[in-house]
Amino acid sequence: MGVKNDLIYIEGMTKTYGVSGSHNIVALNNISFSLSRGANSILGPNGAGKSTLIKVLLGYIKADSGEAQVLGYDIKSEGRKIKEFIGYMPEHYTIIPGVNAVKQVSLLGKIAGLPAAEAMQRAHETLQYVGLDEARYRKVNEFSTGMLQRLKLAQALVNDPELLILDEPTNGLDPRGRIDMIDLIREISQDHSINLLISSHLLPDIEATCEFATILDRGHFVTQGRIDDLTGQEAGSAENRMMNIQIKGSLNDFLGGLRKQGLTFEVIDKVIQVPYSGESPAQSIIQIAYDTNTQIRSMTPRKAILEDVFIHQIEGAENKQAIGGKN
Ligand code: ADP
Ligand code: MG
C-alpha cells in the first residue's frame, strides 16, 4: 500500500455506473496515482471522472475495485477518520430553506464531529473569513450563486481540516466572483498551509491556485506533474503555442480588437485563447487592451498540447483527441 506520507494514494480504482437501457459508464478506469502534500488538483474535461473520484475517496460512493488511502487512512475501513480531517466543498449542494448561514454552517460542523459551542464559534469565524460576515443571519435560500459558493467554502473549513477538497469551486460564478474565489483559495492555502485538492475543468483556475495537477480524461489517468512542467510555460519551441488571456472590461471590445489585428481566438469559460506560432503576440495584445480600454488580468503562454484535451471536449466535439490517453 501507499507511503504513509502520501496525501492521497490510489491503486487500481475502477467505478462503473450502471445505466438502465444503455451500456455501463466506466467513470474511473483502473486509476492509480498518489499525491504528496501541497496544493494539488485534478484537471479534466466534464465527464472525466473527477467528482466520482472525490466521492469515492470520501466514502460517499463505493468503487467496484481498487484501494485508496487519504491522509494515511484506508477509505474502506477508516472513512470516519477521513471525514474528521477533511473539508469538502461539493459540486452540487442542497441548502436548507429558511435556515440562516450561521445555522447551516454550524450544523455541518456538528455533523463533522465538533461540539455544539465550538461548531457555532467556528461557523462565525469561517463565515467572516470567506467574506460573509454581513450575511451571517440571512437565509441561505436567498443567497446568490457567489454567496453560496462562499457558504460552501465556509462549511468546508468549519472543522479546520488538514485537507481541503474543492469540487469545481468556480463553477457558475461570474468573472468577478471567480476572481474573488480564486484569491480566497490562494489565501487559504498560503496562510493556513492546508493541503488542497481542487477539481476543475478550467486550467487557468488551477494554475492560479495549485502547484500540481493530475489529469484525467474519460475515466483514464492521463498524466501528472508540476503544472509549470505540464504547460511548458518556460521551455520549448514557439511552435503551436497558445496565449491564454483573462481581462477585465468589455469582452466584445477586446475581441473586436483581436479581430482587427488579424488574431484568431477561442473563448472558453471567459478565458480568451489566442493560438500562435513564432513570435509572441503579447505586445499586440497589450496594445489592444490599451486601445479598447480593457485591463489584462492575466496573460499566459503555454504549449497548446494540454489545451487540446480541454478545448475539444468542452465543446463536446466527437472527434476530439485525448493526449496520451492510453495510460
Ligand atoms: P466530472 O466530475 O469529471 O465531470 P463525473 O465523475 O461527474 O465527471 O462523471 C464521470 C462519468 O460518470 C460521466 O460520464 C457521468 O455522466 C457519469 N456519471 C456520474 N455520476 C453518475 C451517476 N450517478 N449515474 C450514472 N452515470 C454517472
Ligand atoms: Mg464534476
pLDDT band at 21 (very low <50, low <70, confident <90, very high): low
Q: Residue 99: its pLDDT value, please?
A: 93
Q: What is the pLDDT of residues 138-178, one digit of tens each?
A: 999 999 989 999 999 999 999 999 999 999 999 888 888 89
Q: Is 86 in the pocket of ligand 1 (CB under 6 A)?
A: no
Do residue 219 and residue 247 come from a single domain? no
Report the chain's mean pLDDT, rounded to a whole number. 86
Q: Are residues 71 and 175 located together in one domain of the fold?
A: yes
Nearest to 178 by CA among 132, 246, 124: 246
Is 11 a domain residue? yes
pLDDT band (50, 70, 90) for residue 228: confident
Q: What pLDDT is recorded for position 182? A: 94
**Distance in angstroms (rounded) separating the CA atoms of residues 254 and 260:** 10
pLDDT at position 315: 42
CATH number at residue 48: 3.40.50.300
Res 318 pLDDT > 50: no
Could you tell me if 297 and 169 lie in one domain? no
Q: Please tell me the predicted confidence (pLDDT) of residue 301.
A: 77
Q: What is the CATH number of the domain that holds 254?
A: 3.30.70.600
Q: Is 285 exposed, middle or buried (0-12, 13-18, 19+ CB in 10 A)?
A: buried
Mean pLDDT computed over 242-263: 93
pLDDT computed for residue 168 by the predictor: 95
- Domain boundary, last residue among 213, 231, 249: 231
Looking up cell 503576440, which residue turns up?
281
Mark which of 211, 231, 251 sits at the end of a domain: 231
Asked whether residue 80 falls in the same domain as residue 170, the answer is yes
- Residue 176 and residue 297 in one domain: no
In this prediction, what percent of the chain has a pLDDT beyond 90? 60
Nearest CA to ligand 1 atom 14: 47
Q: Is 321 part of any domain? A: no
Instruction: List residues bridging with 54 in a β-sheet.
Output: none
46 lines ligand 1 (CB under 6 A): yes
Q: Which three cell numbers stand for residue 260?
A: 482587427
Tell me the residue range of the domain where 253 lies: 241-301
Which residue is listed with cell 519551441?
237
Residues 205 and 169 in one domain: yes
Asked whether residue 73 falls in the same domain as residue 166, the answer is yes
Residues 166 and 292 in one domain: no
Q: Which pLDDT score, from 0 to 100, does residue 308 have?
A: 52
Task: Name residue 252's amino acid.
Answer: N
Same domain, 225 and 255: no
Of 106, 111, 138, the C-alpha closest to 125 is 106
- Look at residue 108 and tell me if it is in a domain: no
- Would 106 be classed as within a structural domain? no
**Are the beta carbons of 146 and 180 closer than 8 angstroms?**
yes
pLDDT band at 313 (very low <50, low <70, confident <90, very high): very low
pLDDT digits (tens, 9 = 90+) for 60-102: 999 999 999 999 999 999 998 998 899 999 988 777 888 999 9
- Cell numbers 465556509: residue: 154
Identify the residue with better confidence: 122 or 318: 122
Number of domains in the chain: 2
* Dihedral sign of CA atoms 308, 198, 7, 32 in order: negative
- The response to whether residue 24 sits with its C-beta less than 6 Å from ligand 1 reads no
Domain boundary among 204, 231, 258: 231
Compute the half-sphere exposure of residue 92: CA atoms within 13 Å on the CB side of its CA.
3
- Does 204 contact ligand 1 (Cβ within 6 A)? no
281 and 172 assigned to the same domain: no
Distance, in Å, from the CA atom of 3 to the CA atom of 7, rounded to the nearest integer, reads 9
Ligand nearest to the CA of 216: 1
Say if ligand 1 is within 6 A of residue 47 CB: yes
Contact 200, 170 (CB under 8 A): yes
Burial class of residue 245 in the structure, from the number of CB atoms within 10 Å of its CB (0-12 exposed, 13-18 middle, 19+ buried): buried
Residue 17 inside a domain? The answer is yes
> Residue 189 has what pLDDT?
86
**Position 241 pLDDT exceeds 90:** no
Q: Is residue 307 part of a domain?
A: no
* Residues 167 and 297 both lie in one domain: no
Does residue 124 belong to any structural domain of this protein?
no
Task: Give the Å distance between the CA of 217 and the centre of ligand 1.
Answer: 12
In short, whether 200's Cβ falls inside 6 Å of ligand 1 is: no
Q: Which residues contact 193 (CB under 8 A, 6 or more apart)?
A: none
Quick one: which atom of ligand 1 is closest to the CA of 55? 6
Residues 12 and 29: their CA atoms lie apart, in Å, by 8
Domain presence at residue 79: yes
